[in-house]
Amino acid sequence: MIEGLSHITFIARDLDRMSAILTGVFDAEEVYSSGEEQFSLAPEKFFLVGGVWVAVMQGEPLPSRSYNHIAFKIDEADFDGRLARVQALGLEIRPPRPRVEGEGRSIYFYDDDNHMFELHTGTLEQRLARYAKGKEAAE
């Protein structure tokens, strides 16, 4: 039986730069750094982001960018502050996709290794409720 999400791993060329992104944008707490003592395939660091274990392992970046991404929930009141953090780190912000009102707002951005992240104000329940309204209106 699946109990939930265990962890998310990102491969990053520069562990210190990725650490700065995770702590600067996501308020990540670093809980482990392999340093000279390597147990896995490469040097790595572990973080907690909103209670989720995020691992970062040193290696070659993704060869290209795509819409594959991980989204973290933020409060609507925190939107502008988080956007300022992303901008302060010089990260490339992707224009938001078209949305219907009521499904929340998002900040999409890429790190230096072609990973796309999203900071999203909505929830699954809100999105499903909004989409259900759309279906009713069309009928």
**Burial status of residue 83 (CB atoms within 10 A of its CB: 0-12, 13-18, 19 or more):** middle
**Is residue 37 annotated as a catalytic residue, yes or no?**
no
The residue annotated as part of the active site, out of 29, 30, 44, 125, is: 44
Hey, which residues are catalytic here? Answer: 44
